[in-house]
Structures are given as structure tokens and as C-alpha cells.
């Protein structure tokens, strides 16, 4: 009997023994279709879900490959019922397809149809009350007309009833605009080329790459493929300006061809970079900037940090299904559970590179992750014990007991570019004053943020205190130490993004350090364990350090 690192159970859970010599190999093999649920020290628990299997199917993995992976790495016999269920679940993807330009038996032209290889499936979905109104006249036994405006809504509803449609209806070219990569002194890395090829072949979808692995360059290369006007949606104004700078440096685009559509500027140009915030601004109950989506005949829409897409943008995207759509992210994890919306409206996962693979190739820095546990003093412990449940996390995570630990860690890495990251402003102000460091929060004007980030990048300052505004799309390539003092409850995506602040490869090849300071025996520690789950899935392990040892060794 094989002695594999994996125990496959009939309830669709996979148990991975970390101490097994083939555990890393097994973890990478199951990553395309299984999601990590729990990550204690010795055995990690994964779950196989329909959405995970459909994403794997769309990315080119078939049921035979998934089954073979489980048989190869399983320690015990794999339940036959599970293997059958995997095969049948993956077979659901593609039984329904959306196609364009179909002529019916009576000669009628149908711009968009839903086609099935199985009439019973078509009849089944027709019976759903939310699906039937989206469909038009019957074309033949296996085909039914769909109004083009319902393309996105139909895909959403079909996914909900377990019959994901493969969208083969094609895309409009949009308004042509010449864009080319300017590759003097650099070229696309192999995984970036594969990501662009995977996206372009599929037409729309999501590319998943680690922070620091060059997602912006994948976007630029996709624009060069499209040769069309492009709308880029980003998280904030700082990110918008970093995209602009990168496009100016890496492509043939000039300043006159790139517009910023934010709270400060309203420029619409062949390439327009807009913030999610301005797009979702409401006045008198109306989204006043929605006209941007129709302002030009966009050939490509790029969604940066697609895992953060606000709900209103999903609704808007449902009406943009004829446009090529590229989602970029470090993790498809959404804390609101709307991964299905990304799958149906942006598109399935087209490329996913494991973080450790990219690290092994030298394109992101190796990282040492440590959790430093602080014991609350008796007065704080009692205050925590009698506090209202809703107040406990803030009390624990912003404990003054963390201050000497942060000071000791900063001293340990004296001279190294260090970020201290937190959630609560009063805590961050106290840290900034204690460490004599500059502070960036949501209240910091954009110009001041850019000035401080530039000073940090150029080595003029080596310490920076930042709130969650620096979680996403902030390019600080030389940052090599990150100290997290508080976070957004159990946000796995935030943990991944914060580690990503220090993963850009260092000129001298040194290891990055990521510390999380938590209060033991509190909600702070419980949420930290949840936050670490995604990174554990990528192969990162957290060392546990005691605060007294850290402070004592400084």
C-alpha cells in the first residue's frame, strides 16, 4: 500500500501530513482544485469544492488528472464515491455553452444562444424561475436564444444552480489603439508569458500571481495583445499613478494617451485608469460615474486586485460581457464568499503560479514568517475578559504590550527598510511617535503618500508606519521587513497582501522577514490563525516566538 502524505476522505476533505517527505509535492499538486480550510502545525485540512473543480477544468485540468493526483498521493484507498463525484462535477462544466452568430432552422439570425449537449440539462435549467426570464425563443431541441444584455446575468444564475456555462460567444474588438511593449533591458518572464497566453486563449478570466511577481506587466502585455482602448480599474489613486508610471516605462504609451479617473481628476483617454471608489460613488441613489463604462468602445477591461471588487462593480460587469476582461490578483480568496461572481462575470482562473515556485525561480524573495506571542498583563487580561464581545478584538490587538516587541524587532533589523502595518489609528500614531517614524493612513493626502513612498524606495527613510491603505498595489521593492501589529479580523487576503509588501526580490538576495505580533489566548490569536491559512496553502510556515525572548534578545 502506498505511503503517501494525503488522506482522502469521502466528505471531500483532504488531510495533508506536513512532516511527510512528499508533502510539498502533494500540496502543489492539489492546489489547482482544493482550498485550505485549517492549518495547524502538523496536518492541514483541504476541501474539494465544485467551484474549485470548475476553475481547474477551465484552466485545462481534466478529471483524470485530478483523480490521478489523489491516487498518487493518498496513503489509503481513495473512496470510489468521491472519485465518481469529482468526475461528474467536472463534467458539468461545458455541458452548457454560450455561442454567438447562430442561424435557426427558419433562417433567423440569433446573436447569442445557450446550447447544450444534453437536452435534459437544458430542460432542467429552463424550469428555474430566475433563469427562464433570461432566455428567449427556442432555436432547436438543444439551443435557445439569449438576449445579449443577459449574458452575464445568465452565467451568474447557471452557476448558482450547479450548471456553469462555458462562454464561447467571443468578444468585440473595441476601438483600436496601438500599444506595444518597450523591452529595452528587460523582457517578460516565462510565467508572465504563460499567464498572458492563458488569458488570451480563454478570452476572459483571472490571472493569479504572488505579490511582487509583476502582475502589472501581465496587464501591459495583455493590452499589447488587444491593441485596443483599455479601461483599468484599481483600488486607489496611488495604485492608479503606479500603473501609469509602469505603463509609461514599459510600453509605447505616452502621457497624453493615459488618463486618470479618480476623485481628483476626470480624464478619459485611450487608456483610462479609474478607481473602484469613484466608480461606486453614489449621488441621490445613482452611480454618477457609470457613464465611464460606455465613454469609449473599450476593447479590454483590467480589474486590478480582483478579489477586492466591490459588489456594485459586479453588477456593472454583468453588462460588459462582450468586452475582454482580465482580473489580476494574488489570491482568489474573497472574505464575502463571492468567488462565484468572479468566476461567472470576470471569468475562470486562467493561470495560477504557486508562490514557492516563483520564489524558487528567484523572482520573489524567500520569506521567513514568524508569529510573536505577547501575554497580556493582568489588568489588560481582566479588561479583555469583562469587555463586550464586539470590543475584545480591538482591545487585544491594540494592546500597549505590543509596543516593546515592535521596538525590539525594529532594532533587530536596524537599517533595513521596515514597514509596521496595523489596523487601528490610535495604535499606529503611538507607534509612529515611539519609533520616530512617518505615518501613512487614509487621511494622508495622496501627494504626501507618494512623497513618503518615494523617500522609502530611495532609502531616505528606512521606517514607515502604514495603515491598511498600504495593503494593496503599493510598490515598495526594497522593503525587506514587515511587522504586523493588527489586522482586519481573519482576512486571509490581507495577510497575503501584507506579506507581499516584502516579497520583491532584493538586490543582494537577502531573505524577507514578516512578523505578526499577537496577544495569546485572545481573539487576536484566533484571527491570526485564520489569516495565515492562505499563506500556509502556499507553503509558508510560521515560527512561533515568545515576546519575552524577542525583547530580551534586543
Q: Is the pLDDT of residue 503 over 50?
A: yes
Asked if 82 and 10 touch (Cβ cutoff 8 Å), the reply is yes
Q: According to the 3-state scheme, what is the secondary structure of 423-448?
A: CCHHHHHHHHHHHCCEEECCCCCHHH
Cα angle: 426, vertex 495, 458; to 5 degrees: 75
- Rounded distance between C-alpha atoms, residue 156 and residue 322, angstroms: 15
Question: Grid coordinates standing for 229?
Answer: 482602448
Render pLDDT for 322-334 as a digit per residue (tens, 0 to 9).
899 999 988 777 7
Give the least confident one: 288-302, 479-493, 509-523: 479-493
- Rounded distance between C-alpha atoms, residue 315 and residue 441, angstroms: 30
State the pLDDT confidence band at 1, using cuts at 50, 70 and 90: very low
Q: Which of 181, 503, 531 has the alpha carbon at shortest distance from 363? A: 503
Average pLDDT, the chain: 88
State the pLDDT confidence band at 101, using cuts at 50, 70 and 90: confident
Q: Which of 131, 51, 122, 47 has the alpha carbon at shortest distance from 93? A: 51
DSSP designation for 104: P
- Rounded distance between C-alpha atoms, residue 509 and residue 513, angstroms: 13
Provide the pLDDT for residue 342.
86
Provide the pLDDT for residue 130.
93
Render pLDDT for 107-152 as a digit per residue (tens, 0 to 9).
888 899 999 999 999 999 999 999 999 998 899 999 999 988 899 9
DSSP 309-327: --HHHHHHHTT-TTSEEEE
Q: What percent of the chain has pLDDT over 70?
A: 96
State the pLDDT confidence band at 471, using cuts at 50, 70 and 90: low
State the pLDDT confidence band at 470, using cuts at 50, 70 and 90: low
State the pLDDT confidence band at 96, using cuts at 50, 70 and 90: very high
Q: Is the pLDDT of residue 473 over 60?
A: no
Q: Which is more confident, 21 or 335?
A: 21
State the pLDDT confidence band at 39, using cuts at 50, 70 and 90: low
Provide the pLDDT for residue 487.
80
DSSP designation for 149: G
**Mean pLDDT of the 172-187 span:** 91
Q: Please provide residue 490's backbone torsions phi and psi, each rounded to the nearest 5 degrees.
A: -105, 40
Q: Is the pLDDT of residue 441 over 50?
A: yes
Q: What is the pTM of this model?
A: 0.83
249-258 long-range Cβ contacts below 8 angstroms, 24+ apart: 249/182, 250/181, 250/182, 250/186, 250/217, 250/220, 251/179, 251/180, 251/181, 251/182, 251/220, 251/223, 251/224, 252/178, 252/179, 252/180, 252/181, 252/182, 253/179, 257/177
- Rounded distance between C-alpha atoms, residue 214 and residue 351, angstroms: 14
Strands 96-103 and 109-116: antiparallel
Cα angle: 15, vertex 20, 22; to 5 degrees: 95
The sheet carrying 349-352 orders its strands as 258-261, 271-275, 230-234, 300-304, 324-329, 205-208, 349-352
State the pLDDT confidence band at 496, using cuts at 50, 70 and 90: confident
For 386-425, b where at least 16 C-beta lie within 10 A, e where not — what string? Answer: eeeeeebbbbbbbbeebbbbbebbbeebeebbbbbbbbee
Cα dihedral value 314, 319, 321, 324, nearest 10? -80
Amino acid at each position: 500500500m502506498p505511503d503517501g502524505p494525503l488522506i482522502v476522505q469521502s466528505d471531500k476533505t483532504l488531510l495533508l501530513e506536513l512532516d511527510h517527505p512528499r508533502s510539498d509535492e502533494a500540496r502543489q499538486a492539489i492546489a489547482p482544485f482544493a482550498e485550505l480550510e485549517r492549518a495547524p502545525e502538523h496536518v492541514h485540512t483541504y476541501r474539494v469544492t465544485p467551484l474549485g473543480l470548475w476553475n481547474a477544468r477551465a484552466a485545462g485540468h481534466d478529471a483524470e488528472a485530478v483523480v490521478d493526483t489523489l491516487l498518487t498521493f493518498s496513503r489509503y484507498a481513495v473512496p470510489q464515491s468521491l472519485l465518481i463525484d469529482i468526475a461528474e462535477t467536472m463534467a458539468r462544466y461545458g455541458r452548457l455553452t454560450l455561442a454567438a452568430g447562430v442561424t435557426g432552422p427558419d433562417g433567423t439570425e440569433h446573436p447569442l444562444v445557450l446550447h447544450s449537449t444534453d437536452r435534459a440539462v437544458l430542460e432542467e435549467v429552463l424550469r428555474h424561475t430566475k433563469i427562464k426570464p433570461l432566455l428567449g425563443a427556442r432555436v432547436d431541441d438543444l439551443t435557445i436564444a439569449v438576449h445579449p444584455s443577459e449574458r452575464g446575468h445568465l452565467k451568474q444564475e447557471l452557476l448558482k444552480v450547479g450548471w456553469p456555462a462555458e462562454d464561447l460567444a467571443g468578444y468585440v474588438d473595441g476601438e483600436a489603439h496601438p500599444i506595444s511593449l518597450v523591452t529595452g533591458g528587460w523582457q517578460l518572464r516565462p510565467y508572465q508569458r504563460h499567464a498572458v497566453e492563458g488569458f488570451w486563449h480563454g478570452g476572459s478570466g483571472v490571472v493569479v500571481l504572488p505579490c511582487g511577481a509583476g502582475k502589472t506587466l501581465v496587464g501591459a502585455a495583455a493590452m499589447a495583445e488587444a491593441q485596443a482602448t483599455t479601461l483599468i480599474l484599481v483600488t486607489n489613486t496611488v495604485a492608479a499613478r503606479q500603473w501609469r508610471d509602469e505603463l509609461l516605462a514599459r510600453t509605447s504609451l505616452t502621457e497624453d494617451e493615459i488618463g486618470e479617473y479618480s476623485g481628483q481628476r476626470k480624464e478619459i483617454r485611450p487608456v483610462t485608469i479609474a478607481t473602484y471608489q469613484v466608480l461606486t460613488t453614489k449621488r441621490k441613489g445613482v452611480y454618477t460615474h457609470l457613464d465611464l463604462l460606455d465613454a469609449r468602445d473599450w476593447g479590454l477591461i483590467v480589474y486590478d486586485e480582483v478579489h477586492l471588487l466591490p459588489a456594485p462593480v459586479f453588477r456593472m460587469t454583468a453588462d460588459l460581457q462582450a468586452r475582454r476582461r482580465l482580473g489580476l490578483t494574488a489570491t482568489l480568496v474573497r472574505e464575502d464568499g463571492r468567488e462565484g461572481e468572479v468566476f461567472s462575470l470576470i471569468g475562470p482562473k486562467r493561470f495560477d503560479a504557486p508562490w514557492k515556485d516563483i520564489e524558487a525561480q528567484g523572482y520573489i524573495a524567500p520569506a521567513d514568517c514568524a508569529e510573536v506571542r505577547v501575554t497580556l498583563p493582568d489588568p489588560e487580561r481582566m479588561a479583555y475578559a469583562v469587555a463586550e464581545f464586539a470590543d475584545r478584538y480591538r482591545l487585544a490587538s491594540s494592546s500597549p504590550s505590543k509596543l516593546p516587541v515592535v521596538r525590539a524587532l525594529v532594532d533587530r533589523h536596524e537599517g533595513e527598510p521596515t514597514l509596521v502595518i496595523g489596523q487601528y489609528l490610535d495604535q499606529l500614531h503611538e507607534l509612529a511617535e515611539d519609533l520616530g517614524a512617518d505615518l501613512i493612513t487614509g487621511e494622508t493626502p495622496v501627494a504626501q503618500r507618494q512623497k513618503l513612498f518615494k523617500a522609502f524606495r530611495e532609502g531616505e527613510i528606512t521606517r514607515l508606519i502604514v495603515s491598511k491603505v498600504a495593503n494593496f498595489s503599493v510598490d515598495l521593492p526594497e522593503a525587506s521587513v514587515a511587522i504586523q501589529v493588527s489586522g482586519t479580523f481573519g482576512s486571509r487576503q490581507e495577510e497575503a497582501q501584507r506579506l507581499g509588501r516584502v516579497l520583491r526580490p532584493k538586490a543582494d538576495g537577502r531573505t524577507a522577514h514578516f512578523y505578526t505580533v499577537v496577544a495569546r489566548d485572545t481573539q487576536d490569536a484566533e484571527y491570526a490563525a485564520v489569516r495565515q491559512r492562505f499563506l500556509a496553502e502556499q507553503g509558508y510556515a510560521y515560527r512561533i516566538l515568545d515576546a519575552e525572548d524577542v525583547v530580551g534578545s534586543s
